[in-house]
Amino acid sequence: MAKILISALGTGISRQEENERKYMPAVYRFSGTGKEYKTSFVAAALCEHLKVDRLYLVGTPKSMWEEVYRYYTEAANLQEDRKYKNLLADKAKSFNVKDAEGNKDRINEEDLGKLNLTIDFYLKSIRKSATGGSKCFVIEYGLNETELWNNFNTLLRISDMLEEDDEVYLDITHAFRSIALFNYITLDLIGILKFKKAFKLSGLYYGMLDIKGELEYAPIVDLSPYFNMTLWARAAYNFINFGNGYLLADLIHNRDLSENIRKISEIVNINYIDDFRENIKALNRLLENSPHAEPVIRHMFPYLSDFAKRFKGIKTNGELQFALAEWYFENKRYAQGYICLAESIRTRLLELYQDRGETVNWDENDRKKIKYLITKYLKENPEYCKISLEYKIINGIRNTIAHAGYSGNKSLDRDIRKAIDHVNELKKCLFNNPKIEKIPDEYPFNMLRTK
């Protein structure tokens, strides 16, 4: 595991009399600890305070690379190569964004090889165990879409150097605001593309130079909560729309609420109805009684409550299976939706007999009797034949899904398009149809066969 700082470099302030470009020295103070560092580079304060292993510095061809070399050479007590420093200065200062033809000799990453080594020497001078591997990256100004995508490709190269357990810190103090924003957004995407999960930034730092005159120091504030908002947004969306609460559970500090949401995610994925009912009840209780100490949770509360309340008050397994099927379809989880929908038909009819005092076992034998009722008796009765027709179609789709799509009779587009139509038809002919109460009288349970 390495500690890595990603920082951006601007052009600095020109001093005509000295023919140099610099950042003005400032006293940087870390919020929380009160620790202070006097330096012209906030990145240097961050490197020392965080004890980083390597620095990835991002800048344009116009950035003051020569001043970075001068600063870190001096800080590491190295001998300055004036010829190299002048080369960097000349190339950077001669760059003109309006003169593409004249920029053929602009600064490139090969020119910055010695600077990379110098930064590593500096890091090892403040912490001997620093692993090194620092690198400077040259990006475009980002004036058009082509330049933006070129910058994106450069930042993806940084991702190739990151490992999953690295502690990554981002400094957004200097350079174009667009570069800071771009780095911020791209790091979030890197986590998904490289690590297949949300990327957790260890720190998002900003040196507040604008209020240095008021405070006589520049506070360095950690804006990580802003980055975490993107995680909260994705986590909430995934849970409310897909029942995937793994990321949300990781972010929530309330242990009971976190474990409940993680459990619901597991249940939704495996489709265990009884467990789902109990955990939804627990979620409702937790949401009603939780103090919601985390600020984001307070704002998410109405949406989490809407999800939990959607299944609140459902008394029977058949109704719960049906409600889950509808929710699955709304959120494009068609396989689980069709499984729940097919089972809800047989469960609802079994419950009719149970309500009449019949001794009903929920084993496969009694469910076969209900299947026979549907496919034989109800099919021949004009009053209930719609139930039989819907069951035939839905169960056929369910069987195709169960066999991973190996079926000669399938239509992907139709089965997806008609999913909600099947829900609406079953509402009318089964779940909201009072006439089905007569079925146990017309077809006694002891008369039903298994085949």
Give, in degrees to the nearest 5, the angle at Cα 53 between 48 and 59.
Answer: 80
> Which pLDDT score is estimated for 412?
80
Strands (E), 364-436: none
| 338, amino acid identity | Y
Burial class (CB in 10 A: 0-12, 13-18, 19+), 295: exposed
Distance CA 371, CA 387 (A): 11
Residues 6+ apart with CB under 8 A from 3: 50, 51, 52, 53, 166, 167, 169, 202
Closest by CA position to 183, among listed 53, 58, 61: 58
> Which pLDDT score is estimated for 273?
74
Contact 53, 46 (CB under 8 A): no
Architecture per CATH, 3-222: 3-Layer(aba) Sandwich (3.40)
> Which pLDDT score is estimated for 281?
83
The β-bridge partners of 222 are 205
pLDDT tens, residue order, the chain (451 aa): 899 999 999 888 866 555 788 888 999 999 888 899 999 999 999 999 999 999 999 999 999 999 999 999 999 999 999 999 999 999 998 888 887 556 778 899 999 999 999 999 999 999 999 999 999 999 998 888 998 889 888 888 888 888 878 899 999 998 777 777 777 777 777 666 665 555 567 899 999 999 988 999 999 999 888 777 878 888 888 887 877 888 888 888 888 888 998 998 888 887 777 788 888 888 888 877 766 556 677 777 777 778 778 888 888 999 999 999 999 999 888 999 999 999 999 999 999 999 988 888 877 888 889 999 999 999 999 999 999 999 999 999 998 887 765 655 568 888 899 999 999 999 999 999 999 999 999 999 988 887 7
Contact 95, 62 (CB under 8 A): yes
Going 223 to 225 to 227 to 229, the CA torsion angle's sign is negative
> Which pLDDT score is estimated for 31?
84
Residues 6+ apart with CB under 8 A from 289: none
> Which pLDDT score is estimated for 88?
95
Tokens matching residue 266: 């597991």
Pairing of strands 3-9, 167-171: parallel
Contact 104, 94 (CB under 8 A): no
Distance CA 68, CA 57 (A): 10
Distance CA 407, CA 385 (A): 25
Distance CA 387, CA 375 (A): 9
Tokens 């409940």 sit on residue: 260
> Which pLDDT score is estimated for 44?
96
Distance CA 274, CA 9 (A): 57
Distance CA 409, CA 396 (A): 9
Domain extent listing, the chain: 3-222, 233-310, 317-447
> Which pLDDT score is estimated for 17?
53
> Which pLDDT score is estimated for 195?
55
